[in-house]
Amino acid sequence: MQRVITYIDGFNLYFGMKAQYRNQFLWLDVEALSRSFLLAGQTLAATKYFTSRVANQPEKEKRQGTYLEALKAATGCHFFYGRYQSNVIECKGCGSNWPSPKEKMTDVNIATQMLLDAFTDKFDTAIIISGDTDLIPPILAIKSEMPQKQIGVYFPPKRHSIHLEKLVDFSGLIGKKKLRDSQLPDNIKKPGGYILNRPDSWV
């Protein structure tokens, strides 16, 4: 069987879904989505999910925490965390300042895992779920040193990149049906019995 690993850029996927479908499909089973891309003769060796914990926004923190706990309880995903960096934006017109947190390290973490997995022969095919062109360097490195490895990209809604598309062996756009068919159950029981519920606003 051909081994497949998926590398999921959590924020790129989240904001793409938000831009196209608002909150409709945010309760997403990323492992089920990954399996939906498999072809005959392929097996899912791992699903790797990359994100950062939201900070200083209590309601968003709660929803994200519930979602990540649900993924941990219901799937076999591997999680990799970046961080938020607090930037300050100043209005040149009025002089007001406000914080603008920026997510950091996701692209570096994805690149690191892809390169490690390629050089230690953990996959035959890598599937990237992202439209981030910062992932071009690791793709080029793997294609140069290990041309037998297949690399594909599935773009989140509104996150298509022609630059990525030209580099990979296959690509596609994640459509509404795949997102709808890959939702987590509304209620998920953790091993200790606690019930995790889909956030009310994520419908």
The answer to whether the CB of 64 falls within 8 A of the CB of 28 is no
* Residue 196 near residue 66 (C-beta atoms within 8 A): yes
Above 90 in pLDDT, residue 98? no
121: left (phi over 0), alpha (psi -120 to 50) or beta: left
- Taking each helix axis from N to C terminus, what angle separates 10-21 and 106-119, rounded to the nearest 10 degrees? 120
Among 98-107, 166-175, 177-186, the minimum mean pLDDT is found in 98-107
Reported as a single tens digit per residue, the pLDDT across 34-84 is: 999 999 999 999 999 999 988 878 899 999 999 999 999 999 999 999 976
Domains identified in the chain and CATH numbers: 2-197 (3.40.50.1010)
> Largest Cα–Cα distance of the chain, in whole Å?
62
Contacts (Cβ under 8 Å, ≥6 apart) of 74: 29, 184, 185, 188
pLDDT over 80 at 102, yes or no: no
Write the pLDDT tens digit of every residue in 2-17. 999 999 999 999 999 9
Q: At what angle do helices 136-145 and 106-119 cross, to 10 degrees?
A: 10
Residue 133, both tokens = 């062109």
C-alpha 177, offset from chain centre? 18
Confidence of residue 94 (pLDDT cuts 50, 70, 90): confident
| Bridge partners of residue 152, in order along the sequence | 127, 170
Structure confidence at residue 86 as a pLDDT band (50, 70, 90) = low
- Please state the pTM of the whole predicted model: 0.92
